[in-house]
Chains A and B, each alone.
Chain A
């Protein structure tokens, strides 16, 4: 932080394009970070716009009441799916660099496949259990929500594995994958 501040304070005022090029084009650590952050920002903006548009379209196409059910089921998927990877997608960004710099290649290979298998097996089992819970609670659940909830259970394992893969991709700076 201090270094960057000192540099920008002493650098002569250059053209905006030249400054942008220096910020985004270089291979120095700071410009790599800026580029990654820029990529993530663009991804965030696009996905926010998509989410906004899709909400309007879906609400118009499937109607108010059914859209409520759809959002309700998706909220469960987001909540449970984000927790069912045990935080592996976040800790991958600590574990993978640690194994790499330590030269522990066997453990690294083990994590790259094992983390995905583990989260898949656990989330598939948990989804089967949740489907059982939905079935046993079905007299008390809104009848229109039961079938969507079952489909939500089918969605969960893929959602969880995708989360884990997001974490693995981010640990390699492959932001466009995660």
Chain B
């Protein structure tokens, strides 16, 4: 299952469980549920991915071309980064104007 779905389901599941058990839910509890969900989803994805990759490529020597990877990735990062900034800055700036 894709990360989006696993993550969201786990977050809802954890918070619903805490809610049913009668815990006083707050931002901290919700973030704890999210952190656990993200880590669990990532580790599950890693196990499935590693198993599939093992069937896809035989074990052997490894070579790393960090410089080459970054040369391809960094221009993409620039494009993605500005797009992300564009879409998220409103929420981050809005926090500065909220009344307490």
Residues in A lying within 8 Å of B, measured CB to CB: 43, 46-47, 50-51, 53-54, 57-58, 61-63, 66-76, 78-79, 82-83, 86-88, 90-91, 94-95, 104-116, 118, 142, 144-145, 147-148, 151-152, 154-155, 158-159, 161-162, 165-166, 168-169, 172, 174-178
C-alpha spacing A152/B37, complex, angstroms: 12
C-alpha spacing A106/B57, complex, angstroms: 10
C-alpha spacing A148/B95, complex, angstroms: 14
A54 touches B12 (CB 8 A): yes
Contacts of B15 on A, CB cut-off 8 Å? Answer: 57-58, 61-62
A87 touches B30 (CB 8 A): no
Known: A142-B100, A155-B35. 7 other contacts (CB 8 A): A61-B25, A72-B92, A91-B69, A118-B66, A165-B46, A165-B49, A178-B2
CB nearest to B88 among chain A residues: A79
Contacts of A172 on B, CB cut-off 8 Å? Answer: 52-53, 56
A106 to chain B, nearest CB (A): 4
Contacts of A68 on B, CB cut-off 8 Å? Answer: 95, 98
A151 touches B76 (CB 8 A): no
Contacts of B39 on A, CB cut-off 8 Å? Answer: 155, 158
Residues in B lying within 8 Å of A, measured CB to CB: 1-5, 8-9, 11-12, 15-16, 19, 25-32, 34-35, 38-39, 41-43, 45-46, 48-49, 52-53, 56-66, 68-70, 72-77, 80-81, 84-85, 88, 91-92, 95, 98, 100
B29 touches A83 (CB 8 A): no
> Among the listed B62, B76, B88, which residue makes an inter-chain contact with A90, where contact means beta carbons less than 8 Å apart?
B76
A114 touches B62 (CB 8 A): yes
C-alpha spacing A177/B50, complex, angstroms: 11
B73 touches A50 (CB 8 A): no
Known: A113-B62, A114-B66, A155-B35. A83 touches B12 (CB 8 A): no
CB nearest to A161 among chain B residues: B42
A177 to chain B, nearest CB (A): 6
B98 touches A70 (CB 8 A): no
A174 to chain B, nearest CB (A): 7
Complex A-B: 9 CB contacts under 8 Å: A47-B2, A58-B11, A58-B12, A63-B26, A66-B27, A67-B30, A70-B30, A148-B31, A162-B3
Contacts of A82 on B, CB cut-off 8 Å? Answer: 80, 84
A162 touches B41 (CB 8 A): yes
C-alpha spacing A34/B1, complex, angstroms: 19
B63 touches A106 (CB 8 A): yes
> Among the listed B35, B68, B69, which residue makes an inter-chain contact with A151, where contact means beta carbons less than 8 Å apart?
B35
A50 touches B5 (CB 8 A): yes
